[in-house]
């Protein structure tokens, strides 16, 4: 009888442990699925950054260092105007230099940003 009670106790303990393991496995599978979905979303944003992300701009225009740090090669005139505002002076044609106060400038080649210097 004692052996039977011991076997029943062990079986009950095993069943309880199995139920806890099963619940934990379900939680882990759910978390893995959520992480896969998040990874897919991040990868799609990385492949198409311009369609989903817009630079965060300050209303201070060229005075904001964060706006200068938001510049990227290949940006258009309108993108730069949106970040920095109107330049003080524009020099050039095919290769253009937009000059801002305190020696800041942006270089365009064929209408796209190819370089810049932050103001000092």
At 45-57, the pLDDT tens digits run 667 655 445 555 5
- DSSP 8-class letter at 105: E
Per-position b or e across 33-43, b if 16+ CB within 10 A of its CB: eeeeeeeeeee
Q: Two tokens at 52?
A: 């989903």
- Ranges in the chain, pLDDT < 70: 6, 9-19, 43-46, 48-58
**pTM (whole model) above 0.75:** no
């Amino acid at each position: 009888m004692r052996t039977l009670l011991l076997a029943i106790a062990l079986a009950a303990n095993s069943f309880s442990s199995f139920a806890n393991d099963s619940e934990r496995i379900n939680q882990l599978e759910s978390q893995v699925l959520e992480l896969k979905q998040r990874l897919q979303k991040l990868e799609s944003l990385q492949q198409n950054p311009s369609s989903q992300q817009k630079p965060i701009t300050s209303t201070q225009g060229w005075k904001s260092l964060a706006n200068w740090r938001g510049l990227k090669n290949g940006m258009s005139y309108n993108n730069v105007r949106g970040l920095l505002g109107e330049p003080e002076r524009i020099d050039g044609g095919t290769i253009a230099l937009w000059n801002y106060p305190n020696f800041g400038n942006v270089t365009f080649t064929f209408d796209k940003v190819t370089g810049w210097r932050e103001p000092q």
